Amino acid sequence: SAGSNSAVPPSSTANGGGAGGNNGNNSLQLPISQICNIRRQNVTLKLVHVICPSSKDQPNATKDTRFRCLYQYAKQIEQEVYDKAQTADEYHNMLASKIYVIQRKLSEQRQVWRERERERERERE
């Protein structure tokens, strides 16, 4: 149901080219303005959940200042992507790249945190 709120049909490129048709001269790609605000809000929430998966399970998270700051950060990322993208396809590709980078950086940071914790445990022994 992720695509159900989208104003962008799955085959928005010429000749049924699907999501991979980024040849630059495709006049049938939908302009970025065709992405509705509801879809943009859903994307922002998805970014929040990528950064902080536990926020899905916390109904009172919106009252937390940290969550609000995180939401504003996600909103800023989405806005930057929206402003740079020319087409809906480009918007979705750029968002996917951003999500990948965020997930990779978070994974790397978690490894650093785990290693520091192990070092602290060794020092205590």
Supply the pTM of this predicted model.
0.63
pLDDT value of residue 9: 34
| Contact (CB, 8 A) for 52 and 45 | no
DSSP state of 5: T
pLDDT value of residue 94: 94
| Contact (CB, 8 A) for 6 and 39 | yes
State the Cα–Cα distance between residues 21 and 50, nearest whole angstrom. Answer: 27
Alpha-carbon dihedral sign for residues 35, 66, 73, 1: negative
Q: What is the mean pLDDT of residues 107-114?
A: 93
State the Cα–Cα distance between residues 78 and 98, nearest whole angstrom. Answer: 9
Q: Model confidence over 57-71: pLDDT tens digits?
A: 777 777 888 888 999
Alpha-carbon dihedral sign for residues 57, 62, 66, 70: positive
